[in-house]
Amino acid sequence: MGTVISLALPAGAARDGEGLEGAAAAVERVFAGLDATFSLYRPESEASRLARGEGTLRDASAAFRARFADATGWRLLTDGFFTPERPDGVLDLSGIVKGYAIDQAASALESAGIADWCLNAGGDVLVSGSPVPGSGSPWLAGIVDPQDRRSLLSCYSLGGTGRFTALATSGTAERGDHIWRAGASRTELGPLEFRQVSVAATDILTADVLATAVVAGGRRMLNWATDSWDVEVLAVLDGGELLATPGFRA
């Protein structure tokens, strides 16, 4: 998926080296399997074959069509600011597959009997339990300053006794101007208002999709997201100013 995946466990979460290896292997299997299907970095993947015109969506696997259906559903919910289709018409499901992969990896960890963990996929974070099992203490997720990658803008509490377990960040600081919108080119839409957007939510897919949609849709989508979903948002305007909901200002 073109990113780094990390798994953090508190001491004792897996009682031996074999348990730790098993947890890491479970996560790796989930990401490797989805990467083999959906990655446009892999020329042999199903996504790459479709991008080259070697078949149609109707011929695609059930898994590919299911994720496409998820993505188009989110496109409707976000008024097109989240879309699985690039301006050149290529289907790119990476915007939804990473969140789905994190969620599936969480299920694998739960099935392995591991209750306390923090999973980070390219800056999108999902947690369970606490870094100090049984204490109710939250995991702390840092949000990097897009204008100075050596500094943090904020630190957000996830898990523990809080209701939010997921935090996703999207923007142009890491990968450049890679976010597009449905139905128009970048030149038609003008520059993006936000350089970076972080969204905390109860699930990683909502956090991931809305972070991308708010970057694409600016203040209009920011207002729609905070009015319509149970989320907290920290947005960095192109000039460096911050917009934050109460959960980030507390």
pLDDT tens for residues 165-182? Answer: 999 999 875 554 545 555
Residue 58: DSSP 8-state: G
- How confident is the model at residue 189, as a pLDDT? 52
CB-based contacts of 5, cutoff 8 Å, min separation 6: 27, 28, 31, 119, 120, 121, 122
Report the topology of domain 5-249: T-fold (3.10.520)
Strand intervals (E) in the chain: 5-8, 117-121, 124-128, 139-145, 148-158, 166-171, 194-201, 232-237, 242-244
3-state secondary structure of 120: strand
pLDDT level of residue 149 (50, 70, 90 thresholds): confident
Higher pLDDT, 89 or 169: 169
pLDDT level of residue 79 (50, 70, 90 thresholds): very high
Q: What percent of the chain has pLDDT over 70?
A: 88
- How confident is the model at residue 183, as a pLDDT? 45
Convert the pLDDT of each residue in 178-225 to its tens digit.
Answer: 455 554 444 455 678 999 999 999 999 999 999 999 999 999 999 999
Query: Does 150 have pLDDT greater than 50?
Result: yes
- How confident is the model at residue 15, as a pLDDT? 55
Domain residue ranges in the chain = 5-249
pLDDT level of residue 88 (50, 70, 90 thresholds): confident
Query: Does 48 have pLDDT greater than 50?
Result: yes
Task: Specify whether the CB–CB gap between 159 and 126 falls below 8 A.
Answer: no
- How confident is the model at residue 113, as a pLDDT? 87
Average of per-residue pLDDT across 27-44: 93
> Mean pLDDT in the chain?
88
Half-sphere CA count of 112, side-chain side, radius 13 A:
22
- How confident is the model at residue 236, as a pLDDT? 96
Q: State the Cα–Cα distance between residues 207 and 194, nearest whole angstrom.
A: 16
